Homo-oligomer: A and B are copies of this chain.
Amino acid sequence: MAIALATKNVNEGLGGPFGAVIVRDGEVLAAEANSVTRTNDPTAHAEVNAIRAACAKLQSFQLEGCDVYTSCEPCPMCLAALYWSRCRTVFYGNTAKDAAEAGFDDSFLYDEIRLPAAQRSMPAEQMLSEEAIASFEAWRTSAQRIDY
């Protein structure tokens, strides 16, 4: 189903060749394709779209007990999103290497994220660390916080 969504997305000119389906107890909670270019959203990968749709359906920010079927091994953004969602298992068709051969940056991003920050191609710089810690101090003592 995820593969069919991916191919249909290309054939209809709606976005990249990626689809994802989220299932719990045999029920399909979400079935989404990539919509980066159609919705002007670089985060709108199939897995992210499916996580958002499944969470909206469940009215929950976690997907415990859910399995994710995706047409391609998740990129680092989607893999981390899947961890944050607390889903159970990921099943995938194509690999990150297949995606790279089709022109996508998945393998490059895995290499970048494995590097120490100072060696990555995107510059990142720490600033105002003494001021920034105040946000976490507020969090630690907040009476109304909802952990996630």
Contact = CB atoms under 8 A, between A and B. Distances in A.
B3 A135 contact: yes
A7 B40 contact: no
Interface in A95-148: 95, 98-99, 101-103, 105, 109-110, 112-114, 117, 122-129, 131-136, 138-140, 142, 144-148
A52 interface: yes
Nearest to A75: B80
A142 B13 contact: yes
A49 to B, nearest CB: 9
Chain A interface bracket (under 10, 10 to 19, 20 to 34, 35 or more):
35 or more
Contact of A94 (B86, B114, B132, B140): B132
Contacts of A15: 146
Contact of A105 (B41, B84, B95, B125): B84
B129 A93 contact: yes
Contacts of A82: 122
A36 interface: yes
A85 B42 contact: yes
Contact of A102 (B37, B52, B101, B136): B136
Interface of A: 3, 6-7, 10-11, 13, 15-19, 36-37, 40-43, 48, 51-52, 55-56, 58-63, 71-95, 98-99, 101-103, 105, 109-110, 112-114, 117, 122-129, 131-136, 138-140, 142, 144-148
